[in-house]
Amino acid sequence: MSIPDIVSAGLLILGGIFFLAGTVGLLRFPDVYTRLHALTKADNLGLGLIVAGLAVQAESFAAVGKLALIWLLVLVASAFACHLVARAALRRGIEPWT
Amino acid sequence: MRLRGPLPIVRTLALRLALFALLWWILTEGQPGSWPLGGLFVVLATALSLSLSRPVPWSAVGFARFVPFFLWWSLRGGVDVAWRACAPSLPIAPGMLTYRLRLPPGRARIVMTAVISLLPGTLSAEIVRNNLIVHILDQRVSNEADLAALETKVAALFHIRLSTPPSTHAETP
């Protein structure tokens, strides 16, 4: 294995670990708000690491740009979706678990 | 809000043309044959974006400082929540927090609301007048200091001067 292969394998595995941790949080955390924390933050980082791992293998700078763009779009979508779910839960009167 | 510097419209136009050209280049992965069509759509997209959204005052220095801050805090946020999710004792102490916003209504607040959810331990739930209602994962850490630091960074991004008494930024009708 060459050095870029090792770097990208490391980043991909690390990214997968964060996705797994996000899912563990989704299952273990007690209510909708805490679960949102787990999903948005862990997945944001997990996807960032996977994108970085793939960017190491990319054939052109445009492909790197495309990967970065995908990450950015998912980031924006997940930040707003997270806010909207939390707001809907709050407006429905769901009390945060304490 | 007024744009600084000479010829703000020209600056905005040049920036948006460059951004849409970059987007086209990324989407087509730099195929030279696509540019006759691409050039047309870059111009059309720029015209559409100018008609939909007014020039925004933003600071290149503020942006350059915001990006590494954001990346570092997202990393911290992800590591923090992953650790809490996997630790056997489930070390969380969630609660709600009301943060008095110093940012004026508009884009800056929207950016702040979105970014909060990606940072360690905070999740934006609702804005009621000038108060941001934030869900926090652990009440034992100082979330207010983090929120204030983020607000300062967002203000720098949009050339906004934050005033110390928050009541001066009354909601505009």
CA distances from A93 to A88, B15, B29 (A): 9, 44, 48
Q: Which tens digit of pLDDT belongs to each residue from B26-68?
A: 999 888 899 999 999 999 999 999 999 888 888 889 999 999 9
CA distances from A97 to A49, A63, B85, B94, B128 (A): 31, 43, 15, 7, 21
- Residue B69 has what pLDDT? 94
In chain B, the residue whose alpha carbon lies closest to the alpha carbon of A40 is: B118
Would you call B123 and A97 a contact, using CB atoms and an 8 Å cutoff? no
- Residue B11 has what pLDDT? 85
- Answer yes or no: is pLDDT of A6 > 50: yes
CA B89, chain centre distance (Å):
34
Q: Which tens digit of pLDDT belongs to each residue from A38-90?
A: 999 999 999 999 999 999 999 899 999 999 999 999 999 999 999 999 999 99
Residues of B in contact with A42 (CB under 8 A): 78, 81-82, 85
Residues of A in contact with B83 (CB under 8 A): 21
- Residue B4 has what pLDDT? 54
CA A52, chain centre distance (Å):
13
Distance CA A85, CA B6 (A): 42
Would you call B82 and A25 a contact, using CB atoms and an 8 Å cutoff? yes
Q: What is the 3-state secondary structure (H, E, C) of B77-140?
A: HHHHHHHHHHCCCCCCECEEEEEECCCCCCHHHHHHHHHHCCCCCEEEEEEECCEEEEEECECC
- Residue B1 has what pLDDT? 47
Query: How far is the alpha carbon of A3 from chain B, nearest alpha carbon, in Å?
Result: 24
Residues of B in contact with A38 (CB under 8 A): 81, 85
Task: List, for chain B, all residue ranges whose pLDDT scores fall below the cut of 50.
Answer: 1, 166, 168-173
Question: ipTM of the assembly?
Answer: 0.89
What is the reported pTM? 0.86
Report chain B's terminal Cα–Cα distance, integer Å.
16
